[in-house]
Amino acid sequence: MNLTSPSQVKDWCISNGFHPNRTLGQNFLIDRNALEAIVDAAELQESSNILEVGPGLGVLTEEMLKRGHKVTAIEKDKILSARLAEALGNPENLTVHAGDALDFIKEGVCDGFDTFISNLPYQAGTRILLDIVTRKEAKPETIVVLVQTEVAERLAAGPGNKVRGLAGVWTQLDYDVKIVRVVKASCFWPRPQVGSSVVFMKRHHKNDEVADDVRETFKALTKRAFEHRRKQLGSTFKNIIESTARPEELSNEDWLNLATALVGVDI
């Protein structure tokens, strides 16, 4: 089956009595150019070890396997996880895990991959990504994800940007983030109500030596700050921080400096 052919994808779903589940964010990529752009963006080296979450019918999986890479795919949908390997010819370099990616992340199944490439499900995509990038160790060097454009803009937003939020601050602690391509809603089936974007993330290693207690304080500090994002920091953290700045105005370096100073303080 040509996984970038809308008619063939629809025919398979109809003939197998399969209905894409909106709750699981099942919007299948059916555009060849967008597909190639996602894999190309990763700048994969020979025989990369790739983690994929939400492979669906396997359009990204198939492309990565064709290029000679090893893929471990996690699929929550029981029907899709059961068909994936056989549909792609049972390749030796494909491992399929059936279940919730959030559970597998907690169990360490998603550790140790050099690359993470996924068309992330809309509903849980941000949480899956944050759970991966905020792990203390064994994080991917390269990440390429297809997410809603609104999410992509938040991930890439720098200091002073109105859409800058917790997702961007946490991600940028260890990764350089940029949007590399906008993907129209017409490139998916079923067609979503919003557009998507390809986000490229590369580990910068600038904060590898930041102590665990500083990282924990960083997370707690930024989490509370962005829960009250319209307030000045001095109002949110009375008697702790004297500042008229709002959360989105601070750089990650600013947050780290604050976290370092406030280790052990009840915030």
Predicted local distance difference test score (pLDDT) of residue 16: 86
Predicted local distance difference test score (pLDDT) of residue 146: 97
Predicted local distance difference test score (pLDDT) of residue 249: 98
Read off the pLDDT band of 117 (50, 70, 90): very high
| pLDDT tens for each residue of 164-222 | 999 999 999 999 999 999 999 999 999 998 999 999 999 999 999 999 999 999 999 99
**pLDDT for 258 beyond 90:** yes
* CA 148 to the chain's CA centroid: 11
Average pLDDT over residues 102-106: 96
Cβ atoms of residues 202 and 247 within 8 Å: no
For helices 125-133 and 149-156, the axis angle rounded to 10 degrees is 30
Q: What percent of the chain has pLDDT over 90?
A: 87
Predicted local distance difference test score (pLDDT) of residue 222: 98
**pLDDT for 231 beyond 90:** yes
**pLDDT for 142 beyond 90:** yes
Average pLDDT over residues 113-117: 97
Predicted local distance difference test score (pLDDT) of residue 267: 85
Considering the chain, what is the average pLDDT of its residues?
Answer: 95
Task: Pick the more confident residue, 59 or 25.
Answer: 59
Domains annotated for the chain, with CATH where assigned, are 6-203 (3.40.50.150), 212-262 (1.10.8.100)
Average pLDDT over residues 55-74: 97
Out of 16-20, 23-27, 70-74, 84-88, which region has the weakest mean confidence (pLDDT)? 23-27
Read off the pLDDT band of 96 (50, 70, 90): very high
Cβ atoms of residues 68 and 46 within 8 Å: yes
**pLDDT for 23 beyond 80:** no
Predicted local distance difference test score (pLDDT) of residue 209: 95
Read off the pLDDT band of 55 (50, 70, 90): very high
| pLDDT tens for each residue of 76-90 | 999 999 999 999 999
- State the number of CA atoms in the 13 A half-sphere of 264 facing the CB: 3
Secondary structure (H, E, C), the chain: CCCCCHHHHHHHHHHCCCCCCCCCCCCEECCHHHHHHHHHHCCCCCCCEEEEECCCCCHHHHHHHHCCCEEEEEECCHHHHHHHHHHCCCCCCEEEEECCHHHHHHHCCCCCCCEEEEECCCCCHHHHHHHHHCCCCCCCCEEEEEEEHHHHHHHHCCCCCCCCCHHHHHHHCCEEEEEEEEECHHHEECCCCCCEEEEEEEECCCCCCCCHHHHHHHHHHHHHHHHCCCCCHHHHCCCCCCCCCCHHHCCHHHHHHHHHHHCCCCC
Predicted local distance difference test score (pLDDT) of residue 33: 95
Using only C-alpha atoms, the chain has a radius of gyration, in whole angstroms, of 20
Predicted local distance difference test score (pLDDT) of residue 137: 80
Read off the pLDDT band of 26 (50, 70, 90): confident
Closest CA to 42 of 115, 112, 111: 115
Kindly give the pairing relationship between strand 49-53 and strand 70-75. Answer: parallel
What would the two tokens of residue 218 be?
Answer: 């960083």
**pLDDT for 136 beyond 90:** no
Predicted local distance difference test score (pLDDT) of residue 213: 96
CA atoms of 105 and 130, how far apart (whole Å): 11
